[in-house]
Amino acid sequence: TAPIHFTMSGEDTAAPQVMEDLPGVLKLLSDGSVVRGDEAVLWPEDPLPDVPGVQWKDALYHAARGLSVRVYRPSSSVTAAGGPKLPVLVYFHGGGYCIGSFAQPHFHTYCLRAAAELPAVVLSVQYRLAPEHRLPAAIEDGAAFLSWLRGQAELGVGADPWLAETADFGRTFISGASAGANLAHHVTVQAASSQQDVHPVRVAGYVLISAFFGGDERTATEADPPADVSLTVEGSDMFWRMSLPVGASRDHPVANPFGPESPSLASVDLPPVLVVAPESDVLRDRVMGYAARLREMGKAVEVTEFAGEQHGFSVLRPFGEAANELMLVLRRFVYTGTTSNSTSH
């Protein structure tokens, strides 16, 4: 997959100027308008094999915003009526808060695998994208989704039949990849800090895969990037410019959880976290720094590093060796809550 670069135009013309450009995919013009193309150019062209044994459907969770959640469950769970229910894995897709979709084939395939192999009820959440809907819109959507999930848990037998039959809301895990991992962090913090009452849903843990964090001061891996990255520093900066409130810096609390204006997490009763850190990622130092800061606060943190892997490896190569190993790591975390060590693969 080609690295994500950006271009910026400074020429004076009568027509609106192109301020940001992800070639063929997304243009932000000087009048605030947005031109979208085909995101398929960003993804590997190889067809994805099917994942048997999983049922899925879409359900509306926010009618006014037209937002849906894709619900996945193993087919075997249907035949085991009255049997033990499955943990719930909430999943937010990646794309720098500007691109991506819960229906995109690579994110869809990842969720199929997670539902089948953990096994779990996987809930892949659609959220509003920037620059049409700048942050914190996506975080508001994440909170709205948790409110919907709480309503489903309270309804019991009156809930969506798939959830009523299969979901153990007391074992809910919030996860995401890249920007989705950033979103998972903020949604988890809101639920853990009593900003949002989600009972009887219990957030038992959260999972950040290739998390998309930022900051004004460059880290070592940003200043001297690894070779062969899938996301460049310039591309990362562009996504923040297009997604954060206009004029905000990368130290904005959404981008930088430990920035100068970010609320302290020391007193927040965070659940255990699994931090997945690919080695060949310009954001690696930010991801490792996130884990280190939480550990200093006494939080339960497990870090799993993947040598030689790129940002977004879990969806760029959803059947690769690293993705296979990630499924095993995720299964262990969800079913045993292991948070006592750091591992490398």
CA pair distance 62, 143, nearest whole angstrom: 11
Q: What is the pLDDT of residue 2?
A: 55
* 199 counts as catalytic: no
For residue 9, pLDDT over 80 is answered with no
- Residue 212 counted as domain residue: yes
- Residue 217 counted as domain residue: yes
- Strands of the chain (E only): list them: 18-22, 26-29, 34-36, 54-62, 67-74, 86-92, 121-125, 167-177, 203-209, 273-280, 301-310, 342-344
Q: Which residue has the higher pLDDT, 158 or 123?
A: 123
- Residue 18 counted as domain residue: no
- Residue 5 counted as domain residue: no
**Averaged pLDDT score across all residues of the chain:** 92
- Residue 12 counted as domain residue: no
Tens digit of pLDDT for each residue in 233-263? Answer: 999 999 999 999 999 999 999 999 999 999 9
| Number of structural domains in the chain | 1
- Residue 16 counted as domain residue: no
Using DSSP's 3-state secondary structure scheme, residue 56 falls into strand
Q: Provide the residue range defining the domain that includes 216.
A: 24-336
Burial class (CB in 10 A: 0-12, 13-18, 19+), 145: buried
86-92 and 121-125: which strand pairing?
parallel
For residue 194, pLDDT over 90 is answered with no
Tokens representing 110 are 């990842």
Tokens representing 242 are 């297009």
At residue 15, φ and ψ (nearest 5 deg) are -75, 160
Tens digit of pLDDT for each residue in 305-315? Answer: 999 999 999 99
CATH number at residue 187: 3.40.50.1820
* 50 counts as catalytic: no
CB count within 10 Å of CB 53 equals: 14
- Residue 103 counted as domain residue: yes
Q: How confident is the model at residue 339 (pLDDT cuts 50, 70, 90)?
A: very low
* 108 counts as catalytic: no
Considering the candidates 68, 124, 175, 178, report the single residue annotated as catalytic.
Answer: 178
Considering the candidates 281, 285, 314, 345, report the single residue annotated as catalytic.
Answer: 281
Beta bridge partners of 124: 70, 91
Average confidence (pLDDT) over 280-284 = 97
- Residue 295 counted as domain residue: yes
Question: What percentage of the chain reaches a pLDDT higher than 90?
Answer: 84
For residue 7, pLDDT over 60 is answered with no
Q: Is 260 left (phi over 0), alpha (psi -120 to 50) or beta?
A: alpha
Tens digit of pLDDT for each residue in 61-79? Answer: 999 999 999 999 999 876 5
Considering the candidates 210, 311, 314, 345, report the single residue annotated as catalytic.
Answer: 311
CB count within 10 Å of CB 60 equals: 12
Tens digit of pLDDT for each residue in 230-241? Answer: 999 999 999 999
Q: What is the pLDDT of residue 158?
A: 83
